[in-house]
Amino acid sequence: MDYKEVTLESFEVLGLSDRITGDFSRIPGLWNDFFQRVGEITGKEGMEFYGLAYDTRYEGKNVDFTSLVGVRVNPTAPVPDGMEKKQIPAGKYGLIVHRGSLDELKNTYQTFYSEHHDKVDMSGIEIEVYGERFDMNNPEKSEIDIFMPLR
């Protein structure tokens, strides 16, 4: 797995969020709901889509977190009803690249945590960036950048 430490400047992501409690099957539906409403968002910056995970809580093998799917926006972008804007703090992040299908994404996270768990700031925001290298129709060549908050 490719890994490097990078510094990100602060930025904001606007989209739809939901609390995920153990059952990750809600996440694809959240993306579908978001794509139905993305046209309501003004002030977009860039063409990428973002998946965020934050307010994570662990209880044994169970995990729950808030998932926000959205786009990067300028700080003055208005927030449409039912949406949320989240500020990503500036700081140090571990960058890993997931290669392959979305079904294999959990394996990338498991590998990352097994190798770098001692560096991760578990109170931070995990960031998935779906940019021009992401191709749902061609998963063998698809890539997602994942930024993990570091201590």
* Measured distance CA(133)–CA(144) in Å, rounded: 7
At residue 78's C-alpha, the angle toward residues 36 and 133, to 5°, is: 50
C-alpha neighbours within 13 Å on the C-beta side of residue 93? 21
Q: Which helix (H) or strand (E) holds 88?
A: strand 84-88
Spell out the residues 6+ positions from residue 114 whose beta carbon is closer than 8 angstroms to its own.
Answer: none
- pLDDT tens string, the chain, 151 residues long: the values are 789 999 999 999 999 999 999 778 889 999 999 999 999 999 999 999 999 999 998 877 788 999 999 999 999 999 999 999 999 999 999 999 999 999 899 899 889 988 988 899 989 999 999 999 999 899 889 999 999 999 9
What confidence score (pLDDT) does residue 23 get? 78
Domains identified in the chain and CATH numbers: 4-149 (3.20.80.10)
Residue-level pLDDT at 63: 85
What is the predicted pLDDT for the residue at 2?
Answer: 82
Report the C-alpha gap between 5 and 39 in whole angstroms.
34
pTM: 0.93
